[in-house]
A and B are shown apart, each in its own frame.
Chain A
């Protein structure tokens, strides 16, 4: 376990390093941040001063080495736009995105898993067919459209829930959270549901497919023959075997929820990282883009590792050491 952990860490470091190179080269090809950030009234001398201030007067390889040097000291550089450390900016917005992603994932599991189980166990019932058709909608409706519709119906027309923003927050573990206050919870509901819709359908369909694959297996028949209660068969034998593909997907999807919740965050004006990164890309705020992408790599590597740990708990045949 320990060896595999270290191996993975080294792997991750290489991935991150590769990422910085790709991003650095990539971002430097498109446009010039100075042209976007500078006051149009500035003259040539002021322009050169700003270029030097951002360190853009250096050749790219030198900029990159300076960046790596800063990285050794845990410094990702200051944002061009905000004039503050890039990492701090991202971490400041992390809780909001995290909260949204976790809420969406919870909704996806709590709604998707039971429905999928039901549809898998009783595939011929009309209710199952309705569930399955519904899940197609969840798959195919674009997030931004659903988001706008949710706002139109529940906020603008019915006035049940607020249109956007994060609402009141309360502190827990030194971080501000929305779900601790009533107002915050009301603000959280629509965006979380919007973000969860696709994932719910995904979990639902995976669960149903898994159930149908597991049910005809010999060990289920044997368990039935042994006279085990349906409950035990479903929750221990069926569900446990379902979990391995499900955990993989849920884990990876959690990463994508965090990394790509941009659309939902924009529609609901949720002050998370997604909005920050889109703004930063539009303004060519290189330090923030690089820091964000590096964090995402770390996140995905960490998630994959956690998924593997879950495998060992779920399936005794899997061993991390052997696998690695």
Chain B
């Protein structure tokens, strides 16, 4: 009897052990059509979205950043702050690089320091507070920060862990494949810059081998090319499905549209600093002696005049979701206290009259073209809507290469701005967009409207040095309330993540818009 039990137990053990091997198809290829082109495979050269999404296939980080910017254990199994400036990370045992070498603390030390010290400084915003990284023992790493940094975990989740052997490797070593060796779910096969990256499944991946045996990332920035590849069935899933192709995909029996919300906020920036703003004139075209945008009632009237649901629905063809604050529900710092401002042109006109502008005024809106989803079209629509409450609006769009330099420097009166909330919490957009500009402290770099609210600066300073999450969360909410209570920025919408895919697969879009093969699942 006992023998029998043993036998069945052994059999069961064998069966469970064999399950992953059996369920993994010999050949299950997946091709992803990316809408942007990574510039290199070197994961520390430049922290752009396409580069980080691509490197995520080959390398892991200490912490996995989930689709809603939460932290999950990855190469680190646990972490804690020993004191305000020292963090301890316990590393995962038994992880191997693709070349068979073992992963340990030296790799982590080399990677974090490499990302910090690279001349390109691509990761500077994540590594600026890292004073030192040391290995306490082969499976424990201590990160020392120069100031208490509540965002350290998020920063660490951005930095891929490479083998210490490649610490001094050049960009070419990575692009050529010599150093394209990580611990991640896929193994480098070949890289053709500007064209495609071909990967194979890592059967020994510590989190479980991927369903896909061969993954190809195709770089297809041209909308037409990407759409055609999807329609012809050559590609399984494409990013940034062009709005004009959505109906074709919806009609198809084999294809589907996957829609999700991103953490990219689009807003209208307002010149609230100057007493006379360069692109605001009186209704008859004469110069104004005051700046109406400084009046909160005028800003509120403008927002009430803009029919945001219609813009999102029609102009953007459902490629966006109406926004009322920095981050959507589910992200740290989203506040329920913020009253959404509805579309009400009548009340807007009344409010404008109350503020002393019964006949409105003249305004030129500025924005980029081709940088964000339907940017110039959205701006045109806003212009027409403002005209209806008496603000005679002209729209001027510029190519991104010119606009990007001008708008943070306060060249405009009302401008189209956008911010990808990278960290999934509100200090990140506050520092850049509404904190008082201070070059030494590095605040307000994109504060093109010269917002300066001492209360915001105070709360921000507190939130940026508080490590305790329960103390910090109310501060994060406060930042949203202070910014959008006074409408220092007019919130427009969050861009949506719109993917086109075959019906044979499933994918949950991420806030940062990355398309990661490991998380693409076959539809049952």
Q: Which residues on the A side are within 8 Å of B212 (C-beta)?
A: none
Q: Which residues on the A side are within 8 Å of B172 (C-beta)?
A: 84
Beta-carbon contacts of A170-189 to B below 8 Å, as 1s and 0s? Answer: 00000000000000000000
Known: A44-B442, A165-B196, A271-B193. A39 touches B125 (CB 8 A): yes
Q: Which residues on the A side are within 8 Å of B224 (C-beta)?
A: 148, 151, 267
The smallest beta-carbon distance between A139 and chain B, in angstroms, is: 22
Give the complex CA separation of A93 and B195 in angstroms.
10
**Most chain A CB atoms below 10 A, which of B39, B229, B441:** B39
| B236 at the binding interface (Cβ < 8 Å) | no
The contact of B195 among A35, A43, A44, A165, by CB within 8 Å, is A165
Q: Which residues on the A side are within 8 Å of B401 (C-beta)?
A: 30-31, 36, 281-284
The contact of A49 among B124, B440, B443, by CB within 8 Å, is B124
A-facing residues in B409-423 (Cβ within 8 Å): 419-420, 422
| B461 at the binding interface (Cβ < 8 Å) | no
Beta-carbon contacts of B120-153 to A below 8 Å, as 1s and 0s? Answer: 1111111010000000000000000000000000
Q: Which residues on the A side are within 8 Å of B119 (C-beta)?
A: 53
The smallest beta-carbon distance between B115 and chain A, in angstroms, is: 12
The smallest beta-carbon distance between A239 and chain B, in angstroms, is: 40
Query: Are A49's CB and B121's CB within 8 A?
Result: yes
Question: Quick check: which of B42-50, B272-280, B358-366 contacts chain A, the rest being far away?
Answer: B42-50
The smallest beta-carbon distance between B241 and chain A, in angstroms, is: 15
The number of chain B residues with a CB under 8 A from chain A is 58
Known: A40-B432, A41-B428. A156 touches B228 (CB 8 A): yes
Give the complex CA separation of A271 and B195 in angstroms.
6
Query: Are B232's CB and A155's CB within 8 A?
Result: yes
The number of chain A residues with a CB under 8 A from chain B is 48
**Most chain B CB atoms below 10 A, which of A37, A39, A50, A281:** A39
Known: A41-B428, A45-B442, A282-B401. A82 touches B171 (CB 8 A): yes
Give the complex CA separation of A74 and B442 in angstroms.
39
Beta-carbon contacts of B298-342 to A below 8 Å, as 1s and 0s? Answer: 000000000000000000000000000000000000000000000
| B285 at the binding interface (Cβ < 8 Å) | no
Known: A39-B122, A44-B445, A45-B442. A162 touches B234 (CB 8 A): yes
Query: Are A42's CB and B124's CB within 8 A?
Result: yes
B-facing residues in A280-312 (Cβ within 8 Å): 281-284
Query: Are B40's CB and A82's CB within 8 A?
Result: yes
Q: Which residues on the B side are within 8 Å of A284 (C-beta)?
A: 401
Q: Which residues on the B side are within 8 Å of A50 (C-beta)?
A: 120-121, 124
| A266 at the binding interface (Cβ < 8 Å) | yes
**Most chain A CB atoms below 10 A, which of B231, B232, B408:** B232
Query: Are B171's CB and A269's CB within 8 A?
Result: no
Give the complex CA separation of A300 and B281 in angstroms.
52
A-facing residues in B22-59 (Cβ within 8 Å): 37, 39-40, 42, 45-48
| A164 at the binding interface (Cβ < 8 Å) | yes
A-facing residues in B132-184 (Cβ within 8 Å): 171-172, 175
| B15 at the binding interface (Cβ < 8 Å) | no
Q: Which residues on the A side are within 8 Å of B499 (C-beta)?
A: none
Query: Are A41's CB and B422's CB within 8 A?
Result: yes
Query: Are B39's CB and A269's CB within 8 A?
Result: no
Query: Are B124's CB and A39's CB within 8 A?
Result: yes
Known: A31-B401, A46-B125, A82-B40. A269 touches B225 (CB 8 A): yes
Interface residues of B, Cβ cutoff 8 Å to A = 37, 39-40, 42, 45-48, 119-126, 128, 171-172, 175, 192-196, 218-222, 224-225, 228-229, 231-234, 399-402, 404-405, 408, 419-420, 422, 428, 431-432, 439-443, 445-446
- If A45-B442, A269-B218 are given as contacts, then 4 extra A-B residue pairs at C-beta distance below 8 Å, sorted by A number, are A39-B122, A40-B419, A82-B39, A164-B220
Interface residues of A, Cβ cutoff 8 Å to B = 30-32, 35-37, 39-47, 49-50, 53, 81-84, 89, 92-93, 148, 151-152, 155-156, 159, 162-166, 266-269, 271, 275-276, 279, 281-284
Closest 10 CB pairs of A and B: A43-B442, A41-B125, A271-B195, A46-B124, A44-B439, A31-B401, A163-B228, A266-B222, A35-B404, A269-B225
